[in-house]
Amino acid sequence: MSTVLEVNDLSISFGGLRAVDGFNIKISDGQLYGLIGPNGAGKTTVFNLLTGVYKPDEGKIFLEGENITGKSTIEINKAGIARTFQNIRLFKNLSVLDNVKVGLHNRFTYSAVSGILRLPSYRKTEKAMDEEALSLLSVFDLDKESSLLASNLPYGKQRKLEIARALATDPKLLLLDEPAAGMNPNETKELMDTITLIRDKFKKTILLIEHDMKLVSGICEELTVLNFGSVLSQGKTSDVLNDPEVIKAYLGDD
């Protein structure tokens, strides 16, 4: 099985505080991998390093063997990493459909002249984008709300729309930052089923951040536990859950 993401000795400090210290991870094609830990453990900082929001002080990041360390967010997105955020970031004044089409612009292009003059090539491309966007929305049961403003969706559906938009870029690696945050138990269960469907239906590799270890343990094959910026435990889910250090430092709080 090929390696999609490999991170070696990734580190960053803020004001003398080591926020991430010597982080290593290797994720194989098609894996649904969990990155977990208490609040402030460094999980989102890792995502920001992987997506170019922060530049690491040390370490290397490889996507399918390509060194993407230090590249810009746009370059990394084009290379094949897409993400969602703890705090939902949608174009709330655009429709549900148009939010997904924003993600599709990485893959569908037409000339400025064609767009301005509404030439047949433009109309053909727009029709193809509409069809693909609706197809993606149907996976999340959002196709019937395609004409609504994103801001008018309930919170749980806004979460789903953000994932659909990220998926529209056809990423090699999909990063989900606490996608179940703020959801009730039923919404959380439905979302976890949808994430598993994304991996299986679209053959995507997924790295999932969650605060709740119990939640991700049911769907992730492997886990990395962060604590104070360092890896506390890493490996197969069952092994991590039975690691005495994890039980002492993390599970003991539940």
Average the pLDDT over 241-252 and give the result.
74
Could you tell me the two tokens for 84? 């969602």
- The pLDDT of residue 126 is above 50: yes
Longest dimension (CA), the chain: 66
Structure confidence by residue, pLDDT tens digits, 36-84: 888 888 999 999 999 999 999 999 999 999 999 999 999 999 999 999 9
**Which residue in this structure is represented by tokens 């149907």?**
138
Q: In sequence order, what are the residues at sequence separation of 6 or more whose Cβ sits closer than 8 angstroms to the Cβ of residue 148?
A: 95, 96
Q: How far apart are CA 190 and CA 84, in angstroms?
A: 17
- The pLDDT of residue 232 is above 70: yes
Could you tell me the two tokens for 64? 């399918």
Nearest of 91, 225, 231 to residue 168 by alpha carbon: 91
Average the pLDDT over 151-167 and give the result.
93
What band does 108 get if pLDDT is binned at 50, 70 and 90?
A: low
What band does 114 get if pLDDT is binned at 50, 70 and 90?
A: low
What local confidence, expressed as pLDDT, does residue 68 receive? Answer: 97
Could you tell me the two tokens for 228? 């104070």
- The pLDDT of residue 169 is above 60: yes
pTM score: 0.89
Average the pLDDT over 10-33 and give the result.
95
Sheet containing 58-63, strands listed edge to edge, beginning at the edge strand earlier in sequence = 17-28, 3-14, 58-63, 66-67
By DSSP bridging, strand 230-236 and strand 205-210 are unpaired
Average the pLDDT over 217-232 and give the result.
91
Structure confidence by residue, pLDDT tens digits, 89-105: 999 999 999 999 998 87
Q: In sequence order, what are the residues at sequence separation of 6 or more whose Cβ sits closer than 8 angstroms to the Cβ of residue 2?
A: 28, 29, 64
- The pLDDT of residue 117 is above 60: no
Residue bearing the bigger pLDDT, 1 or 148:
148
**What number does CATH give the domain 1-80+171-254?**
3.40.50.300
What band does 113 get if pLDDT is binned at 50, 70 and 90?
A: very low
Query: CB–CB of 5/205 below 8 Å?
Result: yes
Could you tell me the two tokens for 17? 């505080």
Residue bearing the bigger pLDDT, 191 or 66:
66
Residues of the chain within CATH 3.40.50.300 domain(s) are 1-80+171-254
What local confidence, expressed as pLDDT, does residue 46 receive? Answer: 97
